[in-house]
């Protein structure tokens, strides 16, 4: 049986996180830690972890678009509710996890303003997936953001995009429209980089198959990577962009596969802790489960996702 008091306490503590620029202590994050490292590469080559010009020390605002992995419970850029789990509810302040989401951790670490537009189940462009039961997409998130006429400083604002999971799942029903989805995603980046937003720094992250890989998914990643590589050179945009790519499949492959395996990260289980819409009957040890609810990272997993991105931005710098 889940100990509700311990879960609430853990969610409250989750707000107080260490600086991303300091080495994590051995007792941080309930013992869950990265056991893999980024695989750095070059823009313009094969898909890899890379940072072309993003300096976290200069970031004061983070604007995020995406699906449930980035959805903080508000979808209009307004302040989020505290990431506190109140059993028997399974969402900490509207999140699909028991604490902050990964990019929220980074924003907290940087003391940056966090504006979240992500929506659970979102795809890039819902018109590509007619059988998708929930009509939510990146285009709608963009419409909300652009309709607000936000005046954000280009040099200190980071835009993050996390899509692919739901688009890839939809290929199983509607066929492979991932090439069009990749182009639609790149088109939206180009819009954000244009007047009046004039965005200059963009972080793309992906884990489309959550431990599964196929040719269509890998081609999706490469198409997005090729597109942001061109943006970095100033192609198809008014000025060269700062771009970064973080491939979370390193974590998923490492945990769900045998190299190095989930125990190396500190987990005791790769399963979800909670099944259904209540914490009643949940696992006894949520802090050491890879997933919180089915297919959705636990609070501790979101923390190491944030740590992974910070490592990418620090270790994988290119000109």
pLDDT of residue 11: 38
Average pLDDT of adjacent 10-residue blocks, the chain of 319 residues:
37 38 66 98 98 98 98 98 97 98 98 98 98 97 98 98 98 98 98 98 98 98 98 97 98 98 98 96 97 98 98 97
Task: Give residue-wise pLDDT tens across range 222-262.
Answer: 999 999 999 999 999 999 999 999 999 999 999 999 999 99
Write down the pLDDT at residue 27: 72
Cα angle at 141 between 111 and 165, to 5 degrees?
A: 90
**Which domains are delineated in the chain?**
4-16+30-315 (3.40.50.1110)
pLDDT, position 15? 37
Sorted by sequence, the CB contacts under 8 Å of residue 18 that are 6+ apart come out as 24, 25, 28, 109
Q: pLDDT at position 24, please?
A: 54
CA dist 314 → 69, 170, 214 (Å):
23, 34, 29
pTM of the full structure = 0.92
Position of tokens 């395996």?
A: 261
Cα angle: 313, vertex 241, 18; to 5 degrees: 25
pLDDT value of position 81: 98
Instruction: Match 């699909």 to its residue by tokens.
Output: 96
What is the DSSP secondary-structure string of 212-249? ---HHHHHHHHHHHHHHHHHHTTTTSSS--EEEEEETH
pLDDT tens digits for range 174-189: 999 999 999 999 999 9
> Pairing relation of β-strands 157-162 and 201-206?
parallel
Q: Is 270 helix (H, G, I), strand (E, B) or coil?
A: strand
């Amino acid at each position: 049986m889940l100990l509700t008091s311990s879960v609430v306490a853990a969610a409250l503590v989750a707000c107080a996180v260490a600086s991303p620029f300091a080495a994590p202590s051995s007792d941080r994050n309930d013992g869950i830690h990265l056991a893999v490292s980024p695989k750095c590469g070059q823009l313009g080559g094969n898909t890899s972890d890379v940072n072309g010009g993003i300096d976290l020390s200069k970031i004061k605002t983070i604007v995020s678009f995406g699906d449930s992995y980035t959805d903080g419970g508000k979808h209009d850029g307004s302040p989020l509710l505290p990431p506190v789990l109140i059993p028997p509810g399974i969402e900490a302040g509207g999140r699909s996890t028991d604490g902050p989401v990964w990019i929220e951790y980074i924003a907290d670490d940087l003391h940056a303003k966090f504006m979240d537009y992500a929506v659970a189940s979102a795809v890039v462009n819902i018109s590509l997936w007619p059988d998708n039961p929930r009509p939510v997409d990146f285009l709608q998130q963009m419409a909300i953001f652009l309709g607000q006429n936000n005046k954000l400083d280009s040099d200190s604002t980071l835009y993050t995009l996390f899509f692919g999971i739901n688009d890839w799942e939809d290929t199983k029903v509607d066929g492979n429209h991932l090439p069009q989805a990749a182009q639609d995603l790149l088109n939206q980046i180009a819009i954000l980089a244009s007047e009046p937003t004039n965005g200059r720094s963009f972080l793309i992250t992906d884990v489309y198959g959550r431990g599964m890989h196929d040719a269509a998914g890998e081609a999706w990643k490469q198409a997005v990577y090729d597109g942001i590589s061109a943006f970095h050179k100033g192609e198809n945009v008014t000025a060269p962009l700062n771009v970064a790519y973080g491939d979370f499949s390193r974590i998923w492959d490492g945990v769900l596969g045998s190299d190095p395996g989930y125990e190396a990260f500190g987990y005791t289980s790769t399963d979800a802790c909670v099944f259904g819409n209540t914490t009643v009957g949940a696992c006894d040890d949520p802090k050491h489960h890879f997933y919180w609810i089915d297919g959705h990272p636990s609070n501790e997993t979101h923390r190491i996702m944030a740590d992974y991105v910070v490592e990418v931005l620090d270790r994988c710098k290119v000109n």
